[in-house]
Amino acid sequence: MSDCIFCKIAAGGIPAKIAYEDDLVLAFHDIDPKAPTHILIIPKEHIVSAADINAENSAAAAKCLEAAAKLAAELGLADGFRLVSNCGDSAGQSVKHLHFHLLAGRDFMWPPG
């Protein structure tokens, strides 16, 4: 989508600190980190949110989870990490392109605020 900031990052039009990339997925460091490790994992294809995952695009969504596991192993997040996808306005989704926050390096509250 031409006005989507994450599509622009995926296309290389906006710079980002890339953590992982394959044909379907891009992972890059969040511009406003909420933990010592805060990486965003996105499908390169524009999917609005987790509510829009379907039989046609679920392979890209699954690849995001695979990338999260790969990154967690590579980054040595043996103490644990949190994987979050905010879906919709009331959940705090500010960018309407599916993304998973990979957060680590501090303790996390449960339930989240």
Q: Select 32 or 107, whichever has its Cβ closest to ligand DGP.
A: 32
- 29 included as an active-site residue: no
Pick out residues in 16-35 that bind ligand DGP (CB under 6 A): 16, 28-32
How many residues touch ligand DGP under the rule CB under 6 A: the total is 14
**Is 11 one of the binding residues for ligand DGP (CB under 6 A)?**
no
Three-state secondary structure of 20-87: EECCCEEEEECCCCCCCEEEEEEECCCCCCHHHCCCCCHHHHHHHHHHHHHHHHHCCCCCCCEEECCC
For ligand DGP, the binding residues (CB under 6 A) are 5, 14, 16, 28-32, 40, 86, 92-95
